[in-house]
Amino acid sequence: MSAINCDLCVIGAGSGGLSVAAGAAQMGADTVLIERGAMGGDCLNSGCVPSKSLLAAAKAAESLRRAGRFGVNGHEPSIDFAQVHGHVRGVIDSIAPHDSQERFEGLGVRVIRAAARFTGPDAVEAGGITVRARRFVLATGSRPAVPPLPGLDALPFLTNETLFERTAAPEHLLVLGGGPIGVEMAQAHRRLGARVTMLVRSRLLPKDDPELVEVLRRRLSAEGVAILEGAAAAQAERAGNGVAVLLEDGRRIEGSDLLVATGRAPNLEDLGLDAAGIAVTKKGVKVDARLRTTNRHVFAVGDVTGGPAFTHVAGQHASVVIKNALFRLPAKVDYAALPWVTYAEPELAQVGLTEAAARERHGDGVRALTAPFAGNDRARTEAETEGLVKLVVTKRGRLLGAGIAGPHAGEQIALWCLAVAKRMGVGDVANLTLPYPTLAEAGKRAAGSFYTPTLFGPRTRGLVRFLGWFG
């Protein structure tokens, strides 16, 4: 068995692992990257990239249906699902070179395509090679969490790992789960011609602000997505050539296909973590604020830590680990200004605290400021007036969080990410001069409403009248 000694060994070539490996190698560290599956991980191959590509195709179809509101010949589109699949595959293939083994080897990274397993606190075996490193980084990601639903293991159900392999649209897709993946795929498949029924144990998008979620719920329902909230599944079974889910309340819901979108589970198996002295919890690898595991020579990033399962979080983790592992700087993870987006239409984006979380933490010292897109001129020109901007502030006007349900919410939230991260007050945004007409003006209007009771109150009117006496 051959051996390698290096500065840094990264296990997992998903978004977090690739970011660490690329940064470390370019900063001069002798770096080894180990990956047992496809380069690029979940995000490239079965997550962000294919899902957003499918959503883009679905949006194109819906744009044709709704074109009549502009006086343009709107009609029901003819959808070739095989070509839609080709579009999704083409986007993946266009991005793949950036995540490829060849690119990383060009950066000076030694890439080993094999399963990795710790054999001790400072050694990993992969593909017949023993790797010893000053620091290790676990970046093995996550996989779809499959619930222990009786009968499910006997059915050919779908997850995000298999959904994008289909070249034919399902006739009637049952979606088990009401989180972002379930919502996005439900709307995409409905717009691409399938019947869709969502089976949601509690409520749609439970981590998001209910006022913003209601905007998206209305749109999904209007487009024909059947949403069954409070629908706890008790059993799954075959129904002819399709599937059926029996609910705890006795209802039986049949469909042609079943998509399981009930969360994520960290990839921890067969890594020899015990041999390395790495502790785990039910959520994932146990880490401190500096992303160190219980083995201080091993860090963990991304989904495997059990934290927020977002690609941009993995990127933040990579930055923290590089500062710690290479420069011995005590950098820590900070989720205070963490954004997240559900890329349905209208999009739902949030950063910082929701109103409920803010009130739980600050009690009555919280105000919610809103501005609907129905009052925004740019939204009117594009006939996209559903939704609103919602800001959560202290009584002194410091921003605690922001949420947007509306057109391009994922792009609009960038301003509020900066505002929350820098602990700005609403006045910092209310006093901005923004171009007209833009959707961002709705956010400025929400910020400005903080001052409305004072600015247009009786004391201000009295002051204006008083000053008027002096000419």
Quickly tell me which residue has 């509690």 as its tokens: 202
Q: What is the DSSP letter of 76?
A: P
The residue type of 165 is E
Crossing angle (nearest 10°) for helices 311-327 and 15-26: 30
418: left (phi over 0), alpha (psi -120 to 50) or beta: alpha
Contact yes or no for 383/391 (Cβ under 8 A): no
Domain ranges of the chain: 2-39+100-144+265-327, 152-262, 339-455
User: Which DSSP string corresponds to 204-224?
Assistant: SSTTS-HHHHHHHHHHHHHTT
pLDDT, averaged across the chain: 96
CA 333 to chain centre: 18
310: left (phi over 0), alpha (psi -120 to 50) or beta: beta
Rg (CA), the chain: 25
Beta bridge partners of 340: 350
Report residue 382 as tokens.
């594009």
pLDDT tens, residue order, the chain (471 aa): 699 999 999 999 999 999 999 999 999 999 999 999 999 999 999 999 999 999 999 999 999 999 999 999 989 999 999 999 999 999 999 999 999 999 999 999 999 999 999 999 999 999 999 999 999 999 999 999 999 999 999 999 999 999 999 999 999 999 999 999 999 999 999 999 999 999 999 999 999 999 999 999 999 999 999 999 999 999 999 999 999 999 999 999 999 999 999 999 999 999 999 999 999 999 999 999 999 999 999 999 999 999 999 999 999 999 999 999 999 999 999 999 999 999 999 999 999 999 999 999 999 999 999 999 999 999 999 999 999 999 999 999 999 999 999 999 999 999 999 999 999 999 999 999 999 999 999 999 999 999 988 777 788 777 677 778 886
Burial of 241 (0-12, 13-18, 19+ CB in 10 A): exposed
CATH number of 339-455: 3.30.390.30
Handedness of CA 251, 257, 262, 268 (dihedral sign): positive
Query: Cα separations (Å) of 153 from 75, 156, 159, 233, 238?
Result: 41, 8, 13, 14, 11
Give 213-257 pLDDT, tens digit per residue. 999 999 999 999 999 999 999 999 999 999 999 999 999 999 999
Within a 10 A sphere around the Cβ of 5, how many other Cβ atoms?
A: 12
Can 2-39+100-144+265-327 and 152-262 be said to share one CATH topology? yes
Beta bridge partners of 2: 129
Q: What is the pLDDT of residue 1?
A: 67
Q: Which CATH superfamily does the domain covering 152-262 fall into?
A: FAD/NAD(P)-binding domain (3.50.50.60)
Report the C-alpha gap between 138 and 111 in whole angstroms.
Answer: 15
Burial of 168 (0-12, 13-18, 19+ CB in 10 A): exposed
Pairing relationship of beta strands 388-394 and 123-126 according to DSSP bridges: unpaired
Contact yes or no for 422/399 (Cβ under 8 A): no
Q: What is the DSSP letter of 336?
A: T
User: Which DSSP string corresponds to 47-68?
Assistant: SHHHHHHHHHHHHHHHHHHTGG
Within a 10 A sphere around the Cβ of 75, how many other Cβ atoms?
A: 10
Quick one: which of 104, 120, 141, 139 has its CA closest to 3? Answer: 120
| CATH top class, domain 2-39+100-144+265-327 | alpha beta
Beta bridge partners of 258: 174
Q: What is the DSSP letter of 158?
A: B
Give 372-429 pLDDT, tens digit per residue. 999 999 999 999 999 999 999 999 999 999 999 999 999 999 999 999 999 999 999 9
Q: What is the DSSP letter of 458?
A: H
Contact yes or no for 361/227 (Cβ under 8 A): no
Report the C-alpha gap between 209 and 364 in whole angstroms.
Answer: 18
Report the C-alpha gap between 48 and 28 in whole angstroms.
Answer: 30
